């Protein structure tokens, strides 16, 4: 222990000593001076107060009982009597008051009873109301549960809707993707085909160029050779067949015409369309030579994609071409070359067939988009769109009746349309996919995929005649006198 700590401790002990001393002394002082006398003094004070009280009482009595004179007594008596009288009067008065009060009390009791009865009535109604409240509450609860259920169902339905929407989106995306793929595939295939086609064509051209065409001198032409009207026709048919062949082989972008026979005819007319020449030549009935056209007179890159249909107008020197690039182009044929005149668009798919009307002002086209379209030459948008077929429309022709057209479709029907109303007038189930149509005055002739040529009566809507062909009929045409029919079949025969 260090001395500092010791001194501190001694200091503390000293502190406790003097402090303890003081506390002890104070306690002792209180005991001797306070506690001992506390009760004593209290009791003394009480006693003093009591004695004072008794003293006062004692001191008062002798003064009250002191000798009083008789007169004062009498006076007192009189006064007392007076007060008695007053008191009696007061009693009577008070009794009266009591009676009136009783009346009031009774009245009040009656009212009280009345109020009580009313109260019970009110209580009853209250109970009834409470019952009703409970009932309503129960109903409310059931409604609430129903509502909750409905809410739950709605939520469920909404979630399902959302799911469906998501699915739909997915499907849409998938579809888009597929379509894109399909388009890409188609493009590549087309390209491949076109390349192959071009190759063959080139080869053909080469062969054609190599094989020297033996053209007779124009001076000997008009009088010699056969005069069959069929020849010219044959020319055209063969040309068309070639066109068809082009189409079936996914035509190239070059449009080639073989006009060798033109040299057989009048030189002045060279360069005019074949149809025009035929029309003018036919009445003459002279055709000097008939030959399969072997040389392209004019080669033109006309369309962006394959050409499906080609047609001359009846009267004027116009040529219409329709292709898979969805447009129809009208060309003016002049001096053996084609100049572009107008483009008709409106079809949403490729064109399968084109025809001029007898006036040469309207063009009818059949389209892959299951419709047939009618243009006027001076308007590039279609005037009428005939819809109704369920597959692609393969053929569309004007009938001999004005404002009437007939269409054949892959959906195995042939339909008759009224152009005024732009509506289907008649529909014939042909039984097979119709590839081409021609119209005479009284009948419609259709070539079919099942190697049959059917002749229809447009008024009776019935098959008049059924002619068998050797193969699938791909194309038909009628001679100008409408008595002879030319058909083109898949067995490579005319």
Residues that bind other proteins (CB under 8 A): 14, 17-19, 21-23, 25-30, 32-34, 36-38, 40-41, 44-45, 48, 51-52
Residue number with CB closer to other proteins (36 or 87)? 36
Residue number with CB closer to other proteins (21 or 180)? 21
Tokens 């009307």 sit on residue? 357
Nearest distance, CB of residue 64 and other proteins, angstroms: 20
Residue number with CB closer to other proteins (58 or 70)? 58
Query: For residue 400, which phi and psi values (nearest 5 degrees)?
Result: -75, -25
CA distance 329 to 167: 43
Nearest distance, CB of residue 1 and other proteins, angstroms: 22
Interior/surface letters 145-169, b for 16+ CB within 10 angstroms, e for the rest: eeeeeeeeeeeeeeeeeeeeeeeee
Q: Do the Cβ atoms of 252 and 236 come closer than 8 Å?
A: no
How many Cα atoms are found within 13 Å in the side-chain-facing hemisphere of 209? 6
Residue number with CB closer to other proteins (62 or 67)? 62
CA distance 171 to 236: 50
Structure tokens at 289: 């030579």
Nearest distance, CB of residue 58 and other proteins, angstroms: 12
Residue number with CB closer to other proteins (56 or 210)? 56
Q: From the centroid of its chain, how far is CA 434?
A: 37
Residue number with CB closer to other proteins (6 or 143)? 6
Residue number with CB closer to other proteins (60 or 81)? 60
Nearest distance, CB of residue 26 and other proteins, angstroms: 4
Nearest distance, CB of residue 42 and other proteins, angstroms: 9
Q: Do the Cβ atoms of 230 and 223 come closer than 8 Å?
A: no
246 Cβ neighbours under 8 A, 6+ residues apart: 252, 306, 307
Query: For residue 383, which phi and psi values (nearest 5 degrees)?
Result: -80, -45
Nearest distance, CB of residue 37 and other proteins, angstroms: 3
Structure tokens at 119: 């109260």
Residue number with CB closer to other proteins (36 or 166)? 36
Nearest distance, CB of residue 91 and other proteins, angstroms: 44
Residue number with CB closer to other proteins (38 or 187)? 38
Mode of pairing for the β-strands spanning 423-429 and 434-439? unpaired
Q: Which SS3 state, helix, strand or coil, does residue 300 take?
A: strand
Nearest distance, CB of residue 8 and other proteins, angstroms: 13
DSSP per position, 402-458: TTEEEEEETTSEEEEEETTTTEEEEEEE-SS-EEEEEE-SS-EEEEETTSEEEEEET
Residue number with CB closer to other proteins (43 or 177)? 43
Q: Do the Cβ atoms of 373 and 384 come closer than 8 Å?
A: yes
Q: Is residue 353 packed enough to be buried (19+ CB in 10 Å), middle (13-18) or exposed (0-12)?
A: buried
CA distance 182 to 359: 42
Residue number with CB closer to other proteins (45 or 142)? 45
Nearest distance, CB of residue 16 and other proteins, angstroms: 9
Interior/surface letters 107-130, b for 16+ CB within 10 angstroms, e for the rest: eeeeeeeeeeeeeeeeeeeeeeee
Nearest distance, CB of residue 2 and other proteins, angstroms: 20
Q: From the centroid of its chain, how far is CA 240?
A: 47
Nearest distance, CB of residue 61 and other proteins, angstroms: 17
Other C-beta atoms closer than 10 Å to the C-beta of 348 total: 13
């Amino acid at each position: 222990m260090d001395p500092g700590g010791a001194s501190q401790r001694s200091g503390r002990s000293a502190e406790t000593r003097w402090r303890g001393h003081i506390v002890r002394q104070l306690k002792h002082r209180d005991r001797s001076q306070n506690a001992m006398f506390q009760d004593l003094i209290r009791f003394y004070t009480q006693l003093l107060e009591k004695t004072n009280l008794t003293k006062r009482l004692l001191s008062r009595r002798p003064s009250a009982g002191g000798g009083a004179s008789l007169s004062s007594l009498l006076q007192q008596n009189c006064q007392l009597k007076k007060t008695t009288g007053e008191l009696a009067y007061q009693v009577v008065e008070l009794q009266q008051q009591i009676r009136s009060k009783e009346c009031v009390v009774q009245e009040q009791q009656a009212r009280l009873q009345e109020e009580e009865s009313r109260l019970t009535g009110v209580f009853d109604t209250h109970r009834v109301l409470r019952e009703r409240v409970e009932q309503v509450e129960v109903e409310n609860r059931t409604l609430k549960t129903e509502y909750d259920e409905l809410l739950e169902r709605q939520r469920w339905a909404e979630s399902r809707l959302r799911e469906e929407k998501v699915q739909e989106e997915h499907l849409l995306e998938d579809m888009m993707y597929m379509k894109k793929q399909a388009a890409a595939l188609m493009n590549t295939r087309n390209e491949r085909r076109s390349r192959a086609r071009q190759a063959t064509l080139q080869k053909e051209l080469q062969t054609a160029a190599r094989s020297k065409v033996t053209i007779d001198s124009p001076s000997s032409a008009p009088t010699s050779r056969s005069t069959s009207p069929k020849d010219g026709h044959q020319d055209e048919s063969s040309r068309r067949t070639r066109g068809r062949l082009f189409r079936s082989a996914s035509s190239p972008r070059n449009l080639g015409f073989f006009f060798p026979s033109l040299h057989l005819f009048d030189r002045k007319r060279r360069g005019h369309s074949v149809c025009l020449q035929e029309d003018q030549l036919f009445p003459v009935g002279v055709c000097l030579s008939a030959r399969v056209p072997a040389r392209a007179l004019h080669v033109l890159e006309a369309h962006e994609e394959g050409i499906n249909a080609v047609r001359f107008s009846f009267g004027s020197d116009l040529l219409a071409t329709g292709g898979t690039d969805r447009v129809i182009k009208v060309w003016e044929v002049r001096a053996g070359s084609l100049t572009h005149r107008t483009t008709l668009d409106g079809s949403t798919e490729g064109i399968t067939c084109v025809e001029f009307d007898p006036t040469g002002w309207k063009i009818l086209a059949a389209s892959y988009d299951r419709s047939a379209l009618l243009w006027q030459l001076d308007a590039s948008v279609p005037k009428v769109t005939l819809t109704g077929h369920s597959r692609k429309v393969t053929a569309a022709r004007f009938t001999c009746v004005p404002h009437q057209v007939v269409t054949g479709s892959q959906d195995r029907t042939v339909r008759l349309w009224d152009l005024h109303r732009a509506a289907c007038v008649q529909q014939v189930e042909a039984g097979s996919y119709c590839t081409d149509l021609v119209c005479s005055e009284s009948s419609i002739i259709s070539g079919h995929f099942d190697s049959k040529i059917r002749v229809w009566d447009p008024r009776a809507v019935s098959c008049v005649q059924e002619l068998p062909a050797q193969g699938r009929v791909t194309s038909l045409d009628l001679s100008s006198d409408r008595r002879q029919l030319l058909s083109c079949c898949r067995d490579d025969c005319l």
